[in-house]
Structure 1
Amino acid sequence: MAESTDPNPAAPVPGLPERILLGAAYYTEYQPYERLEADLDLMAAGGFGVIRVGESVWSTWEPRDGVFDLDWLQPVLDGAHARGIAVVVGTPTYAVPPWLRKTYPETTAHSATGVEIPYGMRQDVDYSHPTFRYLAERVVRKIVGRYADHPAVIGWQVDNEPGHKIFYNPQVFAGFVEHLKDTYGTVDELNRRWGLTYWSHRIADWSELWTPDGNSTPSYDLAWRRYQATLGHDLIRWQTDLVRSLVPADQFVTTCIALGQQGQDITVIGEPLDVAGANLYYATQDGLELPGAQGLEGGLASFFVPWSGPAYLSLQADTARGTRQAPFLVTETNATSIGGTADNFPAYDGQWRQTAWHMVARGARLLNYWHWHTLHYGAETYWGGILGHSLEPGRTYAELSRVANELTAATDALAGLEPVSDVGVLVGAESRWAMECMGPLAGPAHSWMGDPGSYDRILAAFYRGLFDAGLAADIVSPGQLADVGPGLPDDAAAAALVARWRVLVVPGLYIADDATLDLLRRYAEAGGHLVLTPRTGYADADAVVRSTVAPGVLRGAAGVHYLEYTNLVHPVPVTGAGWTGAGTAWADGLLVDDAEVLAGYDHPHLGQFAAVTTRVAGAGRVTTVGTVPDRELAGHLARYLARTSLPVDPWRDARPETVTVTAAVNAAGERLRFVHNWSWEPATYRLPAAVRDVLDDVALAAGELLALGPWDVRVLRETP
């Protein structure tokens, strides 16, 4: 069966040009002196085709309550249009002015019950409050009304990085209680579903529900997180509907999603948008090296980049595409250094070009760097832009200019580009939230509730193994599984999933309702290769642990069960023909019913349990992994999946260890191959097929050696 491509390619995004634009967030209002014309001339000379403006300066748009200054942006849009530079205008609702805090204190966000967030940062307002909505709508209507018809404008970004915080305001808690009433109906049902008999937490009336600050009930925490996500989603839906009602049909609406924000579900928040926009930040310098460090540590990036290697960039791109199962916009990515004053790691020569082409290969339709010039004041003074503090163009400008011009030259080849994926990876926001409350893995600082990053550690381990083995992935949510075969009978829906993803990896799906688990079982029996991992299906939709023998309804298909599990203080080597590496952090005590054991543990106690098993289930197969694999074991698992369930791919199987090959199909049905060398050392790669280099128009024969320099990328089009 062929690799996965979307059977229903995404419709063209209104306003988005056919060519892939490269540009930057541009803030003339932040410049230390007047240099608008000089900046725009530099952009035009460098081939930069788009800027994002206006989203951070509500106090500039509305310096006093009800007093607006809308004209300051006009020269920016006029100058951009005169140079053929497109503009995305942002609504400024994520950073409120001092007068709003002073005049309308009721809109202040609370970080705990009764505790106001002090003014002085950003995202310190309760965006669900009706007063805030009134003020936000007023300024949005003014800005959009002023610039919706400007010929430079191709789209609008509503808000910025929504879901940044959890709100504990009284009116938010009151809304949460009403939500619980609608969901559960009666307090008796809530008591039963949440297990509130424990520790005398039963309530006799809704008024007795306690505020979340001291909560210790996992079901409460999960419901609270779900409700918080609806607040962020409602903000984006509300603003999207508002802006769309005011702008021409040929302008798109997006937002700037920071992947992993605590108050959002990335698989839902993009639904009302025309196109999802996401921030893709990554570790640079040696942090992009392959094979690179064996662990998942970051080291060469800010605190919000938890691990290094090109696999992390790839995971973010695949996650952004998975938000709507469609191409996406990169609203922010590394210009130079990212983060704080001690996070100064500008990319090596070639790395900007590599990462740009990788994002395009995985579905990016616009690349906006953050930001044009490095700020001279404020909290992000050392978050580097394309221009440094001197405002003189240097390495960053030169290399990104090269990329911008390459993207323009390759417009025909990149038209309608759809990434090709080998496997699906099922990612659930609710499982992440549940593990943030009660993490199964131990963290650096031992805690009763475990490591709140447990879910991301499990996901990272399995995704990185796929990446190292050369397997590309689609990120899909439990709710999106049903979208693959809507309205079909159960067996037909399962078959549609198999047609889309021959292999489906399920990392740490702790929260799963019965319908989802049953669909996974039917997927395997219909011919798919299902990969189960620790904690999959262990708790129900209310975060209550199931009372069946794990893995519950999947036990028969998996051919294994377990009655116990253990944390691992140290990695435990695995045994098995052709299997090496180690289990880390966790081990289920897998007992075999009628599965084949692929790998066990080299350990005097754990040796009685299986580490990796597999079993034929109907027309498909279920492979169960009872541990969090280290990088070596994860790579063995991925290669096993490829051998057993995927077509042979000579592009994947003959790579040097520093080289990756990513595939995509364009509107003409041509297959493009993006060949990267993530290393200082030059590499050669023997081509399995005849190709033509998209960028220099040179034909290369099958069997010919492709030369790759340090930190290099080649874009190839297969030829008949």
Structure 2
Amino acid sequence: MEEILYGVAYYYEYLPYDRLKEDIEMMKKAGINVVRIAESTWSTYEKNPGDFDFSTVDLVIDEMEKAGIKVIIGTPTYAVPSWLVDMDAEVMVTRKGSGRAIYGMRQSMDITNETYLYHAERVIRKLIERTAYRANVIGFQLDNETKAYGTSGKNVQKAFVEHLKGLFDGDLDKMNAAYGLDYWSNRIDSWENFPDVNGTINGSLGAAFEEYQRLLVDDFLQWQADIVNEYRREDQFLTQNFDFEWRGYSYGVQPEVNHYKASKAITIAGCDIYHPTQDQLTGKEIAFCGDSTRSLKKDNYLVLETEAQGFPQWTPFRNQLLLQAYSHLASGANMVMYWHWHSIHNACESYWRGLLSHDFKENGTYREAVTVGNEWKELSSKLVNLKKHNKVALVVSNEALTALKWFPVDLNAAFQSSITYNDIVLAYYTQLYNLNIECDIVTPDMEGWTDYEILVVPALYSASDETYQELAAFVEKGGKLLSTFKTAVANEHLKISYEGTPKGLQETFGMQYNQFAIPSKTRLMSEYFTFEPDAEVQGFMELLEPDGATVLATYDHAPGDRDVAITVNEHGKGKAIYIGCMMDDKSFNQVILKIFTEQFDYPLSEYAFPIIVKKGINQSGNELTYIFNYSETEMAVASPTEGTSLREKRSVAKDESLVINPWDLIILENEQQ
């Protein structure tokens, strides 16, 4: 991109009165140079079947063009008009356990329904042919936070059976064996009499159906891309605002979409990032989502949605909006866009507040956006197109996530569980983040996913034999592998290994195990790590049996006759470490720190959270170093490099003392010789 894009979602159709020109004046003052429109208002553009009115779209594009503001057009297909449901009730999604959805909510349609697809294609074509030729329309967003929405009606069930036929070459016995359907007399006797998968208790079949639902998202986005590609210019991009697991904010891997596979339909990766602020602002969620989205195309990405004010607990403290904005850029974003410009005055998201409050007047958050936008105007050429070259990758898997939903980590006699896949993933990511170990986030689906010096592989419960072989080869050739409990337990069909665990990696790790437990008053012991007397094992523990590996830590109160918790093994030219349990944060921090510094010879930053350091190479070939202070306390640090402090416009010497204000940052540019 030629410049950093700074923008907002803008809904002229939601305004209580016409204030377009006034809004544009305020946008210009804030340095806003792009808006996203149209993705939410199908029923406004087509009030009756075939009766199209895009006058508001034309008006907004016209006025933005006069003001020099770029426009991203969203296809308006994620919320259907009521007349479409009246036309065909089966447009509404049928879900497991709840039946057919009732009209009212967005994202409640069946994305495979033929009536929906027919009318969705028509409105897409009408909108894109009307806007693609416009000079200030720079790209298109396909749909919005797309998922399959749990669709599992008869049409989807039938298509899933055809999918399984292809997967198993029409061999029913092969499928029954792969999924273990002889158990509890779940064996399926014919393709024609295939039972409703919504009722299955078989984890292999259930996980296969969830994987198929993710494939529906891939197909749906590619279908939309193919339509838009008939109209868009070569200089116009295609994107999608991928979101993440939602726990009141963006939290880990999205269970319902394989972002890497789905991103094949688009030309530039995009995402939604929502996160805590005020005293809970850490930057971790911004970094995780950014590292994940950047890795999809191994290139810069777009933040299509993030909060401005959001809910009351997200009204940012002074300087936090600025800190957040730069945090996106430090992960490789080329655009930051708020949802949304103005707080709307009715409907269900009236109190999910935009950059402006309901009175449309300037407020503290808007004034801070003015600071951000005008700094970016000046610094854009230095900050745009930042490239990251990380030596570490965190390996994640939609299939492992689904598997550990069906077979929870700490399942107890009451059939209850508290540890999820994303809990484990984020526990490891948090330690890397806090120690300033920058990483990419990759999946075994990606080409080159093992092209790193260090792989961190949390809870890769299920994968193909080929994936496990690639991990073994990675270590054999000199790679450094850190993996955790519940890794390499089962194959891609969730069939647990009868050859021992970790499946296919016992020689690599120099250990195996065949027992595990939920800890009770169990502490970690070690001559290598310096654990506190109360170092606690939490949630789950595997009882490791070394076979060539060196023991790094043990349990003091383990069931049975095995007490090994952490091992390290030299294998081939590389090294593999296995951590068999969850633990308290203080112990965990020490374990990761010592593993990276002493076992993996990784040069750590001298700083740790709340000082976060991120680096990259800008388009001039110079190294940029971002130093963030995620705290309410003024912090002093020694400059890690010489260079120019871009925001202060002054030279800085290496090791010079730098003072960073609360919730603030310094950016250093070091010109490369």
Secondary structure in 2 aligned to 1:478? coil
Aligned to 2:232: 247
Q: Give matches, 1:325-344, under 5 Å.
A: 325-338=298-311, 344=313
Residue 287 in structure 1 maps to residue 267 in structure 2:
no
In structure 2, do the counterparts of structure 1 residues 418 and 237 end up closer, same or farther at CA, with 3 Å as the change threshold? Answer: same
- Check whether the contact 1:440–1:450 (CA below 8 A) recurs between aligned residues: yes
Secondary structure in 2 aligned to 1:664? strand
- Check whether the contact 2:42–2:81 (CA below 8 A) recurs between aligned residues: yes
For residue 267 of structure 1, the aligned residue among 260, 264, 286 is: 260
In structure 2, do the counterparts of structure 1 residues 559 and 83 end up closer, same or farther at CA, with 3 Å as the change threshold? Answer: same
For residue 289 of structure 2, the aligned residue among 313, 316, 321 is: 316
In structure 2, how many angstroms separate the alpha carbons of the residues matched to 1:248 and 1:519? Answer: 40
Task: State the identity as a percent.
Answer: 31
Q: Which amino acid aligns with 1:402?
A: T
Which structure has the higher relative contact order (CA within 8 Å, separation 6+)?
Answer: 1
RMSD of Structure 2 on Structure 1 (CA) = 1.9
- Check whether the contact 2:334–2:385 (CA below 8 A) recurs between aligned residues: no
Q: Give matches, 1:289-308, under 5 Å.
A: none
For residue 125 of structure 1, the aligned residue among 96, 106, 109 is: 109
Deviations 1:600-645 (A, max 9, x none): 2233648942221111111110000001233223322332233146
Deviations 1:243-292 (A, max 9, x none): 0111111111111111244431112111120111100111111111xxxx
What's the offset of the Cα at 1:164?
5.5
Residue 155 in structure 1 maps to residue 109 in structure 2:
no
| Long gaps (5+) in structure 1 | 1-16, 289-308, 486-496
Aligned to 2:635: 683
Q: Give matches, 1:460-479, under 5 Å.
A: 460-479=426-445
Secondary structure in 2 aligned to 1:418? coil
In structure 2, do the counterparts of structure 1 residues 311 and 275 end up closer, same or farther at CA, with 3 Å as the change threshold? Answer: same
Residue 618 in structure 1 maps to residue 591 in structure 2:
no
- Check whether the contact 1:461–1:629 (CA below 8 A) recurs between aligned residues: no
Deviations 1:118-156 (A, max 9, x none): 111111111112221111110001001111111220000
In structure 2, how many angstroms separate the alpha carbons of the residues matched to 1:422 and 1:364? Answer: 19
In structure 1, how many angstroms separate the alpha carbons of the residues matched to 2:635 and 2:331? Answer: 23
Q: Give matches, 1:179-198, under 5 Å.
A: 179-184=163-168, 185-198=170-183
In structure 2, do the counterparts of structure 1 residues 72 and 618 end up closer, same or farther at CA, with 3 Å as the change threshold? Answer: same
Deviations 1:218-252 (A, max 9, x none): 11111101110111111100101110111111111
In structure 2, how many angstroms separate the alpha carbons of the residues matched to 1:447 and 1:183? Answer: 36
Q: Which amino acid aligns with 1:194?
A: Y
Aligned to 2:614: 662
Q: Give matches, 1:395-414, under 5 Å.
A: 395-414=364-383
Deviations 1:548-582 (A, max 9, x none): 11112111111111110112366744433334344
For residue 223 of structure 1, the aligned residue among 208, 212, 221 is: 208
Deviations 1:16-42 (A, max 9, x none): x41111111011111111111111110
TM-score normalized by the length of structure 2:
0.95
Q: Which amino acid aligns with 1:533?
A: T
Aligned to 1:116: 100
In structure 2, how many angstroms separate the alpha carbons of the residues matched to 1:58 and 1:570? Answer: 58
Residue 237 in structure 1 maps to residue 230 in structure 2:
no
Aligned to 1:371: 340
For residue 419 of structure 1, the aligned residue among 369, 380, 388 is: 388
| Long gaps (5+) in structure 2 | 246-253
- Check whether the contact 1:466–1:634 (CA below 8 A) recurs between aligned residues: no
In structure 2, how many angstroms separate the alpha carbons of the residues matched to 1:606 and 1:51? Answer: 62
Aligned to 1:208: 193
Q: Which amino acid aligns with 1:661?
A: V
In structure 1, how many angstroms separate the alpha carbons of the residues matched to 2:509 and 2:608? Answer: 35
Secondary structure in 2 aligned to 1:63? strand
In structure 1, how many angstroms separate the alpha carbons of the residues matched to 2:314 and 2:192? Answer: 53
- Check whether the contact 2:514–2:543 (CA below 8 A) recurs between aligned residues: yes
Aligned to 1:559: 510
Deviations 1:637-683 (A, max 9, x none): 3322331466664xx43226421111111123211111001111100
Deviations 1:332-378 (A, max 9, x none): 0111124xxxx533111111111211111111111111111111111
Count of residues paired in the alignment: 660
Range with greater deviation from structure 2 (661-670 or 564-573)? 564-573
Range with greater deviation from structure 2 (323-332 or 238-247)? 323-332
Deviations 1:412-453 (A, max 9, x none): 22243112424111100111111122221359xx962634x6
In structure 2, do the counterparts of structure 1 residues 262 and 639 end up closer, same or farther at CA, with 3 Å as the change threshold? Answer: closer
Q: Give matches, 1:428-507, under 5 Å.
A: 428-441=397-410, 448=415, 450-451=417-418, 454-480=420-446, 483-484=447-448, 497=450, 500-507=451-458
What's the offset of the Cα at 1:114?
8.3
In structure 2, how many angstroms separate the alpha carbons of the residues matched to 1:167 and 1:64? Answer: 26
In structure 2, do the counterparts of structure 1 residues 607 and 311 end up closer, same or farther at CA, with 3 Å as the change threshold? Answer: farther
For residue 150 of structure 2, the aligned residue among 166, 169, 178 is: 166
Residue 514 in structure 1 maps to residue 465 in structure 2:
yes
- Check whether the contact 1:661–1:674 (CA below 8 A) recurs between aligned residues: yes
Deviations 1:292-347 (A, max 9, x none): xxxxxxxxxxxxxxxxx322321111111222232211010111124xxxx53311
- Check whether the contact 1:422–1:501 (CA below 8 A) recurs between aligned residues: yes
What's the offset of the Cα at 1:67?
0.6
